[in-house]
Amino acid sequence: MSTVARNENGESDVVELTPVTPVHGGHCLARLDGRVVFVRHTLPGERVRARLTDASRRGHWRADAIEVLEPSADRVPSVWPEAGADGVGGGELAHVSLAGQRRWKKDVLVDALTRIGGLAPEAELLATLTVRAAAGDEDRNGLGYRTRIELVADQLGRAGMFRHRTHDVVPLETMPLAVPELEVGELLRREWRPGSRIDAVAPSIGPPMVLVDGVPLRSTRRAVREEVLVDDRRWTYRVAATGFWQVHDAAPSELVRSVLAAARPADGATVLDLYSGSGLLTVPLAEAVGESGVVHAIEGEARAVRDARRNVHDHRQVHLHEGPVNRVLGTTLAGTRPDVVVLDPPRAGAGEAVVEQVLSTRPERVVYVACDPAALARDVAYAREHGYTLDALDAVDLFPHTHHVETVALLTPA
């Protein structure tokens, strides 16, 4: 059911909708006179009044819920109202209970893996799939986990974030997803140079750091140290302050544990670590294969490779390769026959060409780390075309109150 309201000019801009199902990106799918409408700030089964934010497309439209007429049982008071309708991006599920968020993300994963990945809806892996909480998130209601935030100053020098799908800066009063060590309140009260970018980083070792347009505010340091703990094992890393590192404070440990459990690299094995970054997974993999094994790590970003060289310095079994993954696989590592391949590609996924290169070597196990369900599903579909099956899937909510979900998938020969 849907109804259309008219504004004072007689134009339709507010509609009444009943969203049906969650879809990728933090939206719910609804229909308006047969047209698909992607609605934010609502939940499946609710009845809402929504303002159309993009009705220019011939295909789907977009809308923001502005009034809840019949709420879902999973609706809670938003933990971050500034990320609500007409607000900043980055907190699109702030109005959903944590349990509801994890069910939402499971539904999105299952939809992607069936509709795009080609898995049967009744497959046992999908029927038993759950999205688990990261360590500590239940106790803190999924708040205070981000160790890295990026702000931008508006024309009056006020720190904020971009309004969803725009380049308009919205000054912020709060940022509840950030770890307390970042002292976000102080950053938001301060006046900055208009247009400047403010990066705040709270590493696991040492004091927080603030950089303005890439320049440290109070020190000459441009790198931070991170510690990763898994059971009785401990690894330390050096990472560029504005370089890539997992933003959830528990994410590095969660991912290392999950990847090692899926990869199970034996002593003496040959492992490919693709999109290896600064070596988060490379170092634990190197220790797992021992001095008689080999880990080939491929990364295209020069700054990350520089950090990785320091992080793997004591592991002679690691060979670092700088360059695009597909090029290095096709040249330097052509003919290599790995036992295990680990991929942690950018959000867009590895793509068909890389998947084909990897699987042509017939590794025993392929471990694929993904934060985008659609990209994961596309690459799973490519893998299935090349004789591999999705054998296991660990889904963990490393981005509470957002639509993102991290997965560690195990692919094995069918």
Active-site residue list:
371
Q: Which of 357, 155, 366, 197 is nearest to 265 (CA)?
A: 366
Report the alpha-carbon distance of residue 2 to residue 242 in Å, rounded: 46
Residue 251 DSSP one-character state: H
Sequence-ordered list of residues with C-beta below 8 angstroms from that of 395, at least 6 positions apart, any chain: 105, 106, 109, 129, 130, 131, 132, 405, 406, 407
387 within 8 A of 286, measured Cβ to Cβ = no
Q: 342 - beta bridge partners? A: 273, 367
225 within 8 A of 206, measured Cβ to Cβ = yes
Question: Is 299 known as a binding-site position?
Answer: yes
Q: Which of 109, 89, 20 is nearest to 372 (CA)?
A: 109
E-state strands within 264-328: 270-274, 294-299, 318-322
Q: How many residues does the structure list for the chain?
A: 414
- Counting Cα atoms < 13 Å in the Cβ hemisphere of 230 gives 19
Sequence-ordered list of residues with C-beta below 8 angstroms from that of 106, at least 6 positions apart, any chain: 129, 130, 131, 395
Question: Is 246 known as a binding-site position?
Answer: yes
208 within 8 A of 202, measured Cβ to Cβ = yes
In terms of DSSP H, where are the helices of 52-190?
Answer: 98-115, 124-127, 184-189
Q: What is the separation, in whole angstroms, between the first and last Cα of the chain?
A: 45
C-alpha separations of 337 from 241, 311, 364 in Å: 35, 25, 10
Q: What are the DSSP calls for 78-109, one per residue?
A: -S-GGGSTTSBSS-TTTTB-HHHHHHHHHHHH
Burial of 166 (0-12, 13-18, 19+ CB in 10 A): exposed
Report the alpha-carbon distance of residue 205 to residue 227 in Å, rounded: 7
Report the alpha-carbon distance of residue 342 to residue 258 in Å, rounded: 12
Instruction: List residues forming the annotated binding site for S-adenosyl-L-methionine.
Output: 246, 275, 299, 344
Instruction: List residues forming the annotated binding site.
Output: 246, 275, 299, 344
